[in-house]
Structure 1
Amino acid sequence: MARRFELERPRLRAVAYRILGSLGEADDALQDAWLRAHRADTSGVENPSGWLTTVVARVCLNMLRARDTRREQPLDDSADRGPAAAVATGSGGSADPAEEAQLADEVGVALLIVLDTLGPAERLAFVLHDMFDVPFDDIAAMLGKTPAATRQLASRARRRVRGVPVPDADLPRRRRAVDAYLAATRGGDFDALVSLLHPDVVLRADAAVVPTPEPVAVAGVERVARGAMVSMGRARSAGVVLVDGRVGMAMAENGRLRVVLRFTFADDGLIAGIDVIAEPERLNKLNITGIS
């Protein structure tokens, strides 16, 4: 079984990464699962691949349930860069940031962000069934639920991940604007970013973003754009999502939701306001879904 584990390691790592959203935690889960597989009596196992997937999934489920919160650590790396840096802030914690970024791109940053808003059971059911074709009967046994209940978990998760169509005629145009904002921030294109902002744009960030004792506000195109440029490298961990039914942007750190940007638009389609949210209580109240 140990030899089989090594043969299956790339797939098992993919399973763990999608369930946990963190490369470091996925590798920890694989180490734990390897020890369990090494110690277990597997003489009666008829499907080694399925058995190993179950072991890894159960380890990951325990890790998800053990998280006290999705946002345990404060964003303390932007304090010395000014409040406008909150436009694209985040902190690194991965053992291999380059590989983490590559995996996030392969899976989809927005998908990882939405997955982080799901409960452990929903996330496990969706990932195992929709991404790895694990039968609901097997997933139900891991969760201690009926297959029918497990199907419902996956269905709810699927709706959040895919998003529900929003009857808003301006949605496509606003999505293009936020897509362009993210592209300009990632690429360090200051002029392109400025072109998306209304002359009277105001960015408001809560106290957890900077952090500061009080919320802060930054006004003016150049000040807001400069703040985004300061943190352009961390914009790779951002994705475009729906926030309370409106186009917004969310940022993750090792697969954990950390910051959400809500946008308001002027009549001409330019971005007139950016509300940057990082306080856990505020984040927990947001309804974040994919965009269909």
Structure 2
Amino acid sequence: MDEKDFLADRFEQHRGQLRAVAYRMLGSLAEAEDAVQEAWLRLSRTDTSDVENLGGWLTRVVGRVCLDMLRSRASRGEESLDVRLPDPVVSGEDVKDPEHEALVADSVGLALIVVLETLTPAERLAFVLHDMFAVPFEDIAPLVGRTPAAARQLASRARRRVRGEAPAPDADLTRQREVVSAFLAAARSGDFDALVAVLDPDVVARSDGGALRPGAVVRGAAAVAGQAMSFARFAAVARPALVNGTAGVVSFADGQPMSVLAFTITGGKIVEIDILADPERLRRLDLAVLDG
């Protein structure tokens, strides 16, 4: 094995973690892959003979690449008042996918990624690297051009936002599935009261239909139940799935995916529903395994 092959082999050992870091930072599967590839390019042209912890070095490189990408988004004015959901990580209910599991380990539900999208780039970097990957603030500080104490403050602000706005989902996947099944059954039958019964009074539903169908946010059990009844036809063709490791559904029509629904269930009630219905983004997801 020559030196380049040896280096590539060592890089592959860390690829899973690097993709996980990039996904949490960017909320985009394609951009996460781009960030990981950029890390490989930087590694391949850098003398790392003095690097004792290659995994830590690569994590910081990916973090820096993602920070630059987030700042570039902001400078191009890509932030919008319209709802734009992060990419969901979708797999079959009974299919063990180690790659997907690594991406969404530690309960990284779609609702959490939604909240991360509201942070400043520096706050997001500090929180993701420190709270999710145990990178010391001394190593984060140079990436954001701050002192370690200031980097700690960035993470602290982000942590307060996450705790206040990202509900922790129930851990029991079987119970999650029961609640989602009850929601779908009520939507199919047009049972408004049954829908309200499985929704938290302050439930929030976000939908992202893409450029041609601007996103929307609906709040409150009655309003969300009314919306669910109006889309009962999609509930009739919904297939169970895991969306970011929690119970969700994907609906199809004529073999084409129409929407991905991610549910956040807390205390046995649905507190958030995130609906991706952007045709272009749905086509980029690998959903064929669900279309049975």
TM-score (norm 1): 0.57
Residues 190 and 232, structure 2, Cα contact 8 Å, conserved in 1: no
Provide the rounded CA distance (Å) in 2 between the counterparts of 1:139 and 1:31: 21
Question: Paired residue for 2:229, among 225, 235, 241?
Answer: 225
Query: Equivalent residue of 1:139, what SS?
Result: helix
Aligned partner of 1:138 in structure 2 is 139
Unpaired runs of 5+ residues, structure 1, are 76-89, 165-178, 199-204, 213-218, 242-246, 255-292
Query: Equivalent residue of 2:261, what SS?
Result: helix
Paired positions, count? 213
Residues 29 and 56, structure 1, Cα contact 8 Å, conserved in 2: yes
Question: Paired residue for 2:20, among 14, 33, 36?
Answer: 14
Question: Paired residue for 2:59, among 50, 53, 63?
Answer: 53
CA RMSD in angstroms, aligned pairs only: 4.7
Aligned partner of 2:42 in structure 1 is 36
Deviation at 1:226, TM superposition (A): 3.2
Cα–Cα, structure 1 residues 17 and 186, in superposed 2: closer, same or farther, change >3 Å?
farther
Residues 32 and 59, structure 1, Cα contact 8 Å, conserved in 2: yes
Q: Which amino acid aligns with 1:196?
A: L
Aligned partner of 2:274 in structure 1 is 251
Deviation at 1:57, TM superposition (A): 0.9
Cα–Cα, structure 1 residues 3 and 101, in superposed 2: closer, same or farther, change >3 Å?
closer
Cα–Cα, structure 1 residues 101 and 6, in superposed 2: closer, same or farther, change >3 Å?
closer
TM-score (norm 2): 0.57
Equivalent pairs: percent with the same residue?
48
Cα–Cα, structure 1 residues 197 and 122, in superposed 2: closer, same or farther, change >3 Å?
same
* Alignment of structure 1 residues 1-292 onto 2, 5 Å: 1-67=7-73, 68-71=77-80, 98=91, 103=103, 106-163=107-164, 183=180, 187=184, 189=186, 190-191=188-189, 194=192, 195-197=194-196, 211=213, 224-227=228-231, 230=234, 233=250, 234-239=259-264, 249=272, 251=274
Provide the rounded CA distance (Å) in 2 between the counterparts of 1:230 and 1:133: 42
Cα–Cα, structure 1 residues 74 and 131, in superposed 2: closer, same or farther, change >3 Å?
closer
Deviation at 1:5, TM superposition (A): 1.1
Higher RCO (CA < 8 A, seq sep 6+): 1
Unpaired runs of 5+ residues, structure 2, are 1-6, 92-96, 166-175, 198-204, 215-222, 239-249, 251-258, 278-292
